[in-house]
Amino acid sequence: RPRVLSGIQPTAGSFHLGNYLGAVRQWVALQETHDAFYMVVDLHAITVPQDPKELRANTRLATAQLLAAGLDPERCTLFVQSHVPEHAQLAWVMNCLTGFGEASRMTQFKDKSAKQGTDRASVGLFTYPVLQVADILLYQADEVPVGEDQRQHIELTRDLAERFNGRFGEAFTVPSAYILKETAKIYDLQDPSVKMSKSASTPKGLINLLDEPKATAKKVRSAVTDTDTVIRFDPENKPGVSNLLSIYSTLTGAQVAELEEKYAGKGYGALKTDLAEVMVEFVTPFRERTQQYLDDPETLDSILAKGAEKARAVAAETLSRTYDLVGFLPAK
């Protein structure tokens, strides 16, 4: 079986619809066909300031949401990044292979550090993509299921894997990004020119899966569309409507063309009312299942302990080979 690896940050509490449709939904499907490793990336989370108590709670909450979304610890390896020390260890080696200019060109860093100011942005935020490189290479992943915003980081991963293999000898599988066109980028409901994101979206444009279903329905019903009235998938000229159609289609399994036909001659109101209902049907059981997992922290922790053990077995092997190739003297 080919291998996949991906991760999600435990920073915001609730996952948003972009996280789910862009990434987590694919993780659930891929555990059936791939040898799948998924993690809650708490090392990444501390690249911006975190409250320790909240971070700990959010790490369990992220795990509960992943299980509620359909990850099955019997079918995939689910773990917390800091439970596997090899991530930080390989990241150091990769940091030493990365050019300063190369890291400076990462657009996510440029955007985030511009917002925070270069004195407040941490060096950890700067090397975030390199830690991500280590995350992926440790598991010899063939594919990495992510949203479009991560494409540049996967390219960096490929470059560094090839660089290491060329300079020191074959150590790493060169991975590919696994990005589904339909859900690669889910847009803000109030400003469909920007991606839905926990840090950049306005509260009304961001669908948090754990919010009250009623509030979520209201956000869908007040989504920004356009002054035209035709329901047609046309991301360039009708970004708001097209975003709603993508979300609707993915959540229900209906083809976009079928939806265009279904709503021909009807107004945007009908589309939004129906999508609001679809969303409520999706988030209501998701919230309930998340709460059930949260109510049983011992089970959660034991799933994570088993996951870390399985992950470490793979990660330790890669790290030891890497250390050897780099020229580190083996510890006796």
Residues with catalytic function:
112, 195, 198
What is the enclosing helix (H) or strand (E) of 36?
A: strand 35-40
Cα separation, 86 vs 67, in Å, equals 25
CB 14, min distance to ligand AQP, A? 9
Select from 172, 169, 150, 146 the least CA-distant residue to 160.
Answer: 172
CB of 289 to ligand AQP, least distance (A): 19
Nearer CB in complex with ligand AQP: 11/157: 11
> Based on CB atoms, which residue is closest to ligand AQP, 12 or 241?
12
E strand spans, 143-194: 143-145, 176-178
Q: Which positions touch ligand AQP (CB under 6 A)?
A: 8-9, 11-12, 16, 18-19, 22-23, 146-147, 149-150, 185-186, 195-200
163-176 burial code (b ≥16 CB/10 A, e <16): ebeeebeebbbebe
Min separation Cβ 25 and ligand AQP, Å: 10
State which residue, 111 or 317, has the beta carbon closest to ligand AQP. 111
Residue 51, Cβ neighbours under 10 Å: how many? Answer: 9
* Binding-site annotation, residues: 9-11, 18-19, 135, 147-149, 186, 195-199
By residue count, the chain amounts to 332
CB nearer to ligand AQP: pick between 98 and 201? 201
Binding site, annotated residues for ATP: 9-11, 18-19, 147-149, 186, 195-199
**Minimum distance of ligand AQP from residue 166's CB (angstroms):** 28
SS (H, E, C) 87-137: HHHHHHHHHCCCCHHHHHCCHHHHHHHHHHCCCCCCHHHHHHHHHHHHHHH
